């Protein structure tokens, strides 16, 4: 496993999307699940909340130019609930989100995020409110997430966050990236496959 897939630190400016129980259909509407690749998913996060029926922009943080380039998303409770569609984290990642800080997450959504290398970490309600206000007052504030220390730093302040050990270990060791793991062990995969009866037509 190469070191470049290890995710220990994420830094950047932030963007806040307020509201509890934001489900995956709001993150990416179901009609965009029909696309056969994820290539354009970055165009679709919160699409129905960002644009009206004629495609005209509405007021939404993801449309606000002052948040352009933000890589850390701040959310409230039960973010990513609803269906298990992996298109939701794909859309956020391709929009530019590389970490999500919230009060709580739907388990399947959090797992799908980790499989893409997106840490989903939790802080208290009071802390998320402070962080959201900070982002909204000054979008240029920078944040530094350290998965090894389990801390989020900004200015002179630092808060501790929670993340399941299985997720944290997968990210900081690089084992979140199952595709890279398979490719780096391709010879072993081929050797094992050659010994499986259903891969060789049950010959021999």
53-87: pLDDT as tens digits = 999 999 999 999 999 999 999 999 999 999 888 99
Distance of CA 122 to the CA centre of its chain: 13
Contact (CB, 8 A) for 139 and 29: no
Domain spans in the chain, listed from the N-terminal domain onward: 3-175
Assign domain 3-175 to its CATH superfamily: Aconitase, domain 4 (3.20.19.10)
Per-residue confidence (pLDDT) for residue 202, from 0 to 100: 65
Per-residue confidence (pLDDT) for residue 181, from 0 to 100: 53
Contact (CB, 8 A) for 15 and 29: no
φ/ψ of 152, rounded to 5, equals: -120, 120
Residue recorded with tokens 């990642």: 93
Pairing status of strand 72-74 against strand 99-102: parallel
Contact (CB, 8 A) for 110 and 167: yes
List residues bridging with 146 in a β-sheet. Answer: 9, 151
Residue recorded with tokens 């965009």: 32
Per-residue confidence (pLDDT) for residue 186, from 0 to 100: 59
The reported pTM is 0.86
Mean pLDDT, the chain, as a whole number? Answer: 90
Reported confidence tier of residue 2, pLDDT bands at 50, 70, 90: very low
Per-residue confidence (pLDDT) for residue 1, from 0 to 100: 38
Reported confidence tier of residue 204, pLDDT bands at 50, 70, 90: low
The region that residue 202 occupies, defined by phi over 0 for left and psi between -120 and 50 for alpha, beta otherwise, is: left
Residue 147 reports pLDDT greater than 80: yes
Distance CA 101, CA 87 (A): 19
- 183's CB contacts (< 8 A; 6+ apart) are none
Segment 168-196 mean pLDDT = 71
Summarize pLDDT for 12-22 with one digit per residue, the tens. 999 999 999 99
Output 39 or 105, whichever has higher pLDDT. Answer: 105
Q: Give the range with max mean pLDDT: 153-157, 186-190, 193-197.
A: 153-157
Residue 35 reports pLDDT greater than 70: yes
Which helix (H) or strand (E) is 195 found in, with range? none
- 83's CB contacts (< 8 A; 6+ apart) are 23, 24, 25
């Amino acid at each position: 496993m190469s070191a470049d897939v290890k995710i220990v630190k994420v830094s950047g400016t932030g963007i806040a999307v307020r509201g509890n129980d934001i489900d995956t259909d709001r993150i990416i509407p179901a009609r965009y699940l029909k696309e056969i690749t994820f290539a354009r998913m970055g165009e679709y996060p919160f699409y129905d909340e960002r644009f009206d029926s004629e495609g005209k922009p509405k007021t939404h943080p993801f449309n606000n130019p002052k948040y352009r380039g933000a890589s850390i998303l701040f959310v409230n409770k039960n973010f990513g609930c609803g269906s298990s569609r992996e298109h939701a984290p794909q859309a956020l990642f391709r929009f530019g989100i590389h970490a999500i800080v919230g009060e709580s997450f739907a388990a399947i959504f959090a797992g799908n995020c980790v499989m893409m290398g997106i840490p989903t970490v939790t802080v208290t309600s009071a802390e998320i409110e402070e962080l959201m206000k900070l982002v909204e007052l000054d979008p240029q504030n920078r944040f530094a997430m350290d998965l090894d220390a389990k801390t989020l730093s900004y200015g002179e302040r630092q808060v501790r966050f929670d993340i399941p050990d299985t997720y944290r270990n997968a990210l900081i060791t690089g084992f979140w990236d199952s595709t890279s793991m398979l490719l780096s062990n391709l010879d072993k995969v081929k050797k094992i496959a050659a010994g499986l009866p259903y891969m060789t037509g049950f010959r021999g």
